[in-house]
Amino acid sequence: MELKSFDRLVESLSKLPSVGRKSAERMVYAMLNMDEEDLKEFSESVLGLSRIHRCSICGTYTEEDICDVCKDDNRDKTTLMVVSYPKDMLAFEKSEGYDGLYHILNGAISTSKGIGIEDLNIESLFQRLDKGDIKEVILATNPNVDGETTALYLSKKLEKYDINITRLAYGLQIGSALDYTDSLTLNKALQGRHKM
């Protein structure tokens, strides 16, 4: 039985992380049981992803030129949290324990994966700091080898600025990912951050 549309969608879904062919087939079968209105809404949602791009200031995802966090006048404009990925920023936003700004690196230094300094959103971080408004930079990279390497590199580069450089407290489990950490642990780690 040849179903080109079915196979094409299975192949597309299989490109997602942690989704194998069998999982993708189950998803497509589930979609075949959706009513036409739900299927149309699902399709439009997927197409809507093409409107999403990086914020011109912090580097997170947004549909506008500048994201909601960067536009928010009520945020603390003197504190900047540096995270590896937009999902890490989202984890802190959900915890509701931080009201400063963010800078997304879009990765972490990793020799094993071939990711170097030039592959990260670091130069725009220095440009933001050159403006002189930031008084504290919180290095909130993941507590694993790549995250620690990135934090150490940044802490050395940031020494030339007249700012406090802090790192999240080690209440976080080593080897864990920020986006899987519960809100209480994130808040405790944020409160217990220390100077680098």
Residue given tokens 């802090």 in the structure block: 166
Q: What is the pLDDT of residues 76-120, one digit of tens each?
A: 999 999 999 999 999 999 989 999 999 999 999 998 899 999 999
Strand partners, 165: 137
Mean pLDDT of the chain: 90
Is this prediction's pTM over 0.85?
no
Q: What is the pLDDT of residue 29?
A: 93
Q: What is the pLDDT of residues 129-172, one digit of tens each?
A: 999 899 999 999 988 889 989 999 999 999 999 999 999 876 66
Q: Which two tokens stand for residue 35?
A: 């009513």
Work out the end-to-end distance of the chain between its first and last CA atoms, rounded to an integer number of angstroms.
62
User: Does 38 have pLDDT greater than 70?
Assistant: yes
Closest to 104 (Cα-Cα) out of 117, 92, 122, 118: 122
Give the pLDDT of residue 111: 87
Residue 115 is classified by DSSP as: B
124-149 b/e with 16+ CB inside 10 Å = b? bbeebbeeeebebbbbbbbbbebbbe
Instruction: Assign 180 a pLDDT band (cuts: 50, 70, 90).
Output: confident
Task: Give the model's pLDDT for residue 1.
Answer: 54
Asked if residue 184 has pLDDT above 70, the reply is: no
- pLDDT of residue 62 exceeding 90: yes
Kindly state the percentage of the chain with pLDDT values over 90. 72
Confidence of residue 181 (pLDDT cuts 50, 70, 90): confident
pLDDT in the model for residue 171: 65
